[in-house]
Structure 1
């Protein structure tokens, strides 16, 4: 719609029937892409058989709970990615809303860690985001995997955000697995609290207050057995304590320490954030460039994405040796620096140990921000005129 209206002057736009134009564009796209007719809302959608498989005949839609299910969900994957998921020890889960079909709630994606990199293995189009819906998805996936591979799906580490319904379903379905919530979301919650209570200015100008917040963020990498202590006695941090450590009456906080503490995972070299999932969601959103999507476009998009990922992993598996990705090498080096900061804690001076971890975290975050900025600049140069090398050569000739 936006592309069709680009270049049209305002007086012309004012007299155009945008609703009729949008419908005409939808009909045109449906004809070009051979999209089926009919309603695509959860209680009416009917998926033709040819849309349920890849071109080679392998299944693409592994389960559809049906129009009679008020919490309808559709599981999308490939046999290759399901096999990777069932044997994967570390998985991460996240939902995206920008690529969801119209009238549906979200696209829930499960990633599996392969060669130190999170790869999307299963996408689930969901009509609801309730605990019962998440539980139904996990139970159905376990049944599918047991039926296909005769293996019980039992990951050891699961990373998610802090969504209550999702966490509750995971704890119910995987009671033995270690469930951790993303450190990035933990730090983000601190920032949102600062904005909510209107302490932005104090955070920027008060060095001591800024340090207190930094120390609390660093607690995520301190042993859970010593979390609390001096931090609980600091003024102005009552919200942090009752939310993350312990309430004033001694009862459990809103989020248990084991949920957000990553000390053991960081020392083991395990991932502590779901930032890779967020980056993948952004790439998918950028590929669509629309605010809302038809069900058929969404299915086509994820079929292509799953097919490409499966093919690339097959090629890597067939090669004799896979060189370490430069990004993976940099990430490993950052993990080693954080581990060194954690090891230096003597067990006596808590504040000193937290300060060292805080400095390391801020240095790593600064390096990550700079690398992301350089990558964005490089992509902009590519978009504005050829390769990066050509752009640099033009700049050297034209100072």
Structure 2
């Protein structure tokens, strides 16, 4: 087993596919070690797909490495792991890439694919909402039917036309804060992070314009 990044050697068996296609296409020896795998067939499949899903994992990354990162596309049966590199006269220009709420990934995609739409996972958006409900000790209150409906409305905002989000949120705030002032901090969080002067543009977390075109979650690619 290698004990350092410099001592890693990729064996011939892992450098080619079973059909003798080159599989190892990047093995950088710069300050930040990067090893990437993809065959020409995989790159061709990527080039033919308009919508990608991407996800990084730290927990299952090989020892010595900080992260493993995967790019996936759908075929008619399921989501398939791929990867990307612009070479061999294959043009990679996805219409959209779905990721988790990771700013470093957003920055990288905007740099490499400036015309590509970045979309963030609906499941992770909902997860963020529930984390804040727990933080503000609102979970018990949220189980009440009239409150639960409003929480469901917040979680459904990614499926609402972007020009209707502000109006929907105003109605939700009126209901929740009139029921209990404890919801003020929670609704402020939603406003500040997703709606008014938000850290995350609604173009990134809203999926109304892609309903019926692509998946809205990254759950099936989680490592």
Q: Is the TM-score greater than 0.5?
A: yes
Aligned residue for 1:46? 9
Instruction: Give the CA RMSD over aligned residues.
Output: 2.0
Aligned residue for 1:274? 218
115, 133, 136: which is aligned to 1:194?
133
Aligned residue for 1:253? 198
Shift of 1:90: 0.9
Q: 1:43 to 1:198 in 2, by over 3 A?
A: farther
Residues 93 and 160, structure 1, Cα contact 8 Å, conserved in 2: yes
Residues 208-259 of structure 1 show CA distances to partners (whole Å, capped at 9, x for unaligned) of 332221111111111011111252361321110111001xxxxx31111111
- CA–CA separation in structure 2 for the residues paired with 1:173 and 1:79: 20
Residues 152-205 of structure 1 show CA distances to partners (whole Å, capped at 9, x for unaligned) of 21011211110110011112222212211111111111111111222222222x
- CA–CA separation in structure 2 for the residues paired with 1:190 and 1:63: 39
Shift of 1:117: 3.2
Computing the radius of gyration from Cα coordinates, the structure with the larger value is: 1
2:145 pairs with 1:182: no
2:38 pairs with 1:77: yes
TM-score w.r.t. length of structure 1: 0.50
214, 227, 230: which is aligned to 2:165?
227
The count of residues paired between Structure 1 and Structure 2 equals 211
Q: 1:241 to 1:64 in 2, by over 3 A?
A: same
Shift of 1:97: 2.9
Residues 54 and 71, structure 2, Cα contact 8 Å, conserved in 1: yes
2:208 pairs with 1:263: yes
Shift of 1:105: 1.1
Q: 1:54 to 1:270 in 2, by over 3 A?
A: closer
Higher RCO (CA < 8 A, seq sep 6+): 2
Residues 88-126 of structure 1 show CA distances to partners (whole Å, capped at 9, x for unaligned) of 11111012234321121121010012226321112xxxx
